Structure 1
Amino acid sequence: MPKRRRFGREVKLAAVERMLAGEKVAALSKELGVACKMLYEWRARYLSGGASALREPGQPRKEPQLEPPRTPADLGQAQARIAELERKVGQQQLKLDFFREALRQVREKRQPSDGPGASSSTPRSRR
């Protein structure tokens, strides 16, 4: 079994930046000796968490920890944020319902397309 190669954060970051600049992934993969899949994983990590998400070899992944509110003021802020987000979700749901209904009405008013067995718009040529 071949030994796994390990790449530092700088190498990963340089590879991701080259990918984002438009360089072909297959060529980059061949140059670095890394599977394309791994390059795409590095890019996904970078896009979701920035350069710090490209960890050094041997370092454990840092899972985000949610801390509970420590004071009544923190609890009040958290509850206000929850209420704000619930309002936004409600507004989005209203918009979604509106557009679904509009789309349904448009589909109902649209003339049916020619399906199987429908007559063609032009007569057949007789050869």
Structure 2
Amino acid sequence: MGSQRIINEEDKLSLLQRMEAGENISELAREAGISRQRLYDWRDRLRLTGSLKARRRGRPGKASVVSSEPLQQSGEMALPPEEKALAKTRRRISELEQKVGQQQLDLDFFQEALRRIRDDHRQDTAPGGTESSRSSKK
């Protein structure tokens, strides 16, 4: 696919500020040599995490916790309190959606297990089934 262009954080912030100021996103992306989606991804990452630091490639570790405080020493622009609250709320919603999803998987699993047990029980008690019979020896 070709080499990826590496853009430093200052340039990313500059592009995002121009994007927020209303400049044409397609033209900004073309100028920077990136996709429009990359600009949106940066914008969303900045809004959610307060940072544009590059993520490690691959699957994130279990203990990866996103800081709600922007990193001032890296030259990042500070988020207003309402943006911080919004980011925190979005993270909480994401956590709850994951929990609901896991609960739904558990519920589906147990409903299917119960259905199979009931089906097996019905087959065992049906006429001609494999139900135990009395011993002929007494």
- Shorter-chain TM band: 0.3 to 0.5
Which fold has the larger relative contact order, with Cα–Cα distance below 8 Å and residues 6 or more apart in sequence? Answer: 1
Query: With structure 1 as the length reference, what TM-score do the two structures score?
Result: 0.42
Normalised TM-score (structure 2): 0.39
